[in-house]
Amino acid sequence: MNYVVSVIFRAIPLAMMAVCVGFGLYVWTAGETSGNFVAGRVVTFLGAICLCLFSTAATIIRQLIDRFTNLDKVVWPTIGYLAAAGTTAYGASLFVGASSSGLNKEYVAGHVVFGLGLISGCVATVATASTKFSLIPENSQSAEGDRRVPPAAFSQGAVWVLGAIPVVLAIIAWAFSIANLAASTTPGRFTVGHVDAGLAFVCTSLIGLVLSIVRQVQNTYGEQDRRRWPLLVIVTGSLSMIWGIVVLALHSESYYLTPGFVMTGLGLVCFSILSKVGLLALVWRRTFELANRVPLIPVLTALACLFLAAFVFQAAVADPNVFIPARVLIGLGAICFSLYSIVSILESGTSSSK
């Protein structure tokens, strides 16, 4: 990878972060209605995920262009974890003490932003696991049965910690979802319960990505991993989309529309993550001729989010109940396109193993 291309790939998630923050703040300050309040804050803090993806991109690229230093090992993951901590803290500050009656804007926005912070923490862990990405092409060139852990790999304690972080964050997301769904006697709890489920699906998908990277760094990635982690992401993405479509089909109440569209969009984000998990599986100790086509997956999911947003924007002219998902889908499209950058970087880095 030449330097100019590396700058472009690092610029993409930053540009998408600017889109999320700029558009989010525009909606945030456009009025005091509940739609502006929720959509503005959610879209703005989707930028935190883009920032974490930028940290991941910088971590991998600086290894590919031989500019990775000990300072980089600390700076990029730290930026990601700080973004995650700030996002979860702000989300918690909104929903703590807020009433769950009706479609309470603080209750809904706070829980969703808190969930975005959990996803950001998972992505920051991807950046941390990627600090030893340079070992993956080397390990991939070894014999199929070679499972020797390289001396420069993570310690066993670090492996457990890296694997545990996304698992714990996913469990927290699922706990919030289940708690709200179990008591969904109000539109606010109904919306939060379903959207948090979509966010939990994304966190669960990122477990597969973190463990794929860690196990390839440790040279312990095997045939079961090649099947297990892509299948996990396929299942989470499919369930999120199907769940969202079912909620839309059953919209006996107007407030069903927001979680239905958002869960569908989050399913598309899961399939963008699949491109990364699948690529790592496809090129591990084998040649995959179509590896350079895999980055098209997040491009397609980004376009799907944007086209869906266009239809929902038009629907919002007559139905204000879809005001929020129309805006949120724009931010989810930005996340998908940021993942295009990461997948392209992975393809460039792992292609050396062919």
- For 6-45, the pLDDT digits (tens) are 999 999 999 999 999 999 999 999 987 889 999 999 999 9
* 201 contact partners, CB below 8 Å, separation of at least 6: 236, 237, 239, 240, 266, 267, 270
175 CB neighbour count, 10 Å cutoff: 12
pLDDT average, residue stretch 72-77: 96
pLDDT reported for residue 353? 40
Q: What is the DSSP string of 22-86?
A: HHHHHHHTS-SSHHHHHHHHHHHHHHHHHHHHHHHHHHHHHHHTT---HHHHHHHHHHHHHHHHH
pLDDT tens digits for range 116-150: 999 999 999 999 999 999 999 999 887 776 788 99
Phi-psi region at 66: left, alpha or beta (left = phi > 0; alpha = psi -120 to 50) = left
For position 33, what pLDDT does the model report? 83
pTM of the model: 0.95
The length of the chain is 354
Q: Which residues contact 32 (CB under 8 A, 6 or more apart)?
A: none
Each residue's pLDDT tens digit, 42-55 = 999 999 999 999 99
**Token pair 């997301």 in the structure block, residue:** 173
Given a contact cutoff of 8 angstroms between Cβ atoms, the answer to whether 155 and 299 are in contact is no
pLDDT above 90 for 348: no
Count Cβ atoms within 10 A of the Cβ of residue 352 and give its class: 0-12 exposed, 13-18 middle, 19 or more buried: middle
For the cut 70, the answer to whether the pLDDT of residue 352 exceeds it is: no
pLDDT digit string, tens, across residues 197-237? 999 999 999 999 999 999 999 999 998 999 999 999 999 99
At 240 the pLDDT is: 97
DSSP state of 286: S
pLDDT in tens, 77-105: 999 999 999 999 999 999 998 877 767 89
The predicted-structure confidence for 174-200, as pLDDT tens digits, reads as follows: 999 999 999 877 899 999 999 999 999
Name the H helices within the chain.
Answer: 3-28, 34-64, 70-95, 105-129, 135-140, 156-182, 187-217, 223-249, 257-283, 296-318, 323-350
Q: Is residue 354 very low, low, confident or very high in pLDDT (cuts 50, 70, 90)?
A: very low
What is the per-residue pLDDT across 284-298, written as a single tens digit (0 to 9) for each?
Answer: 888 777 778 899 999
Beta carbons within 8 Å of 176's beta carbon, 6+ residues apart: 111, 114, 115, 192, 196, 200
Supply the pLDDT for residue 217. Answer: 95
pLDDT > 90: percent of the chain: 79
> What rounded mean pLDDT belongs to the chain?
93
